[in-house]
Amino acid sequence: MQGKIVASSEIPRVHGEDSVTTNWAGQREGPHYVDSPSMPLRVSRVQTYLPMYTEPEKTATGNCRLLKRLFRATINIVITVAISVFVTYCLIYNHFIADKIGHNVAEAREKINPTNKVSTFGALAGDTSMPANQHNVYAVFSLDQVALNNTGDIRWLKSDGSDSVTPNKTDSCVVVKQGGLYGAFSQITFKFSPSSKERVGHSIYVIRHGTANETMIQKRNLDKPQLRLETHTFLQPSNINAFVSLSSGDQVCVNPSPPDMVYKSAVDNILTVVRLAM
């Protein structure tokens, strides 16, 4: 069978000859060819035309993007300035409040009676009956190393402070001469060794004037730390901060147990007694 030459005009077409149609998606399509018994199957051609921007449209689009960037940068600057202004205002306001409080304190100090020398604490509390020289009641004591070496007893040596608190030479106590609310701050340093006891104690107690009764204020126990075999000594401090109301003649006492494990050092074993209020 010989082949047959068919003219292009004889090829069956749809949607008209060489007509361009628009499909449902808005795309333009060229002519479609269909299969024919007398011709081999030809693949349909579909041409899609994308929208093209003109030069003015491109310029307008670029300008819009530039305006958006400038707008975002402007918003960021405005927010930053607002936060800075707010922080500055808060700092100025707090400084104003601090100055006002300082002014009120200065006015309270001006209430001091020049003849009686009322202390600042008394002026702020509205109590003008407490002289300043009676409010400054404090004393600092250090460990008497000689007494600890010779007799094994705890004794205190006064290193600083007023004469309103004095050490007792017969025990580990100090005597207050004026009543009031006191703070007692004690530090005892213990020396541990592999053969030392497993637990030590540190306490503060009060002996009321005219009695022999001991009133425990605060107590602390320390367990022996785990020591290596090559460790000869290990120093461990114990600190107690106690507050107690005392009368004239009362004694504040420190009791380390056992005393032979106290490290012999005046710097590492101290007792401070301060009157906080009458």
pLDDT band with cut points at 50, 70 and 90 for residue 226: confident
The CA distance from 240 to 4, in Å, is 119
Residues 6+ apart with CB under 8 A from 150: none
Phi-psi region of 87 (alpha: psi -120 to 50; beta: other; left: phi over 0): alpha
pLDDT of residue 67: 80
Q: Which is more confident, 218 or 90?
A: 218
Whole-model pTM: value is 0.52
Average pLDDT, the chain: 76
Distance of CA 232 to the CA centre of its chain: 39
For residue 31, which amino acid is it?
A: P
pLDDT of residue 250: 95
pLDDT of residue 232: 78
pLDDT band with cut points at 50, 70 and 90 for residue 68: confident
State the distance between the two ends of the chain, measured CA to CA, in whole angstroms: 134
pLDDT of residue 276: 92
pLDDT of residue 167: 94
Q: Give the mean pLDDT of 4-23.
A: 49
pLDDT of residue 188: 96
- The structural architecture, per CATH, of the domain 132-277 is Sandwich (2.60)
What the block records as the tokens of 90 is 């808060």
C-beta separation of 141 from 159 below 8 A: yes
User: Of 69-78, 116-125, 147-156, 264-273, where does mean pLDDT reach its minimum?
Assistant: 116-125
- Summarize pLDDT for 70-114 with one digit per residue, the tens: 888 888 888 988 888 888 877 777 666 666 666 655 565 555 444
Question: In sequence order, what DSSP letters do the residues of 109-151 get, joined into one string?
Answer: HTT--TTTTB-HHHHHHT--SSBHHHH--EEEEEE-HHHHHHT
The CA distance from 51 to 39, in Å, is 36
| 124 has a pLDDT exceeding 50 | no
Q: Give the mean pLDDT of 119-139.
A: 54
The CA distance from 31 to 9, in Å, is 13
C-beta separation of 171 from 130 below 8 A: no
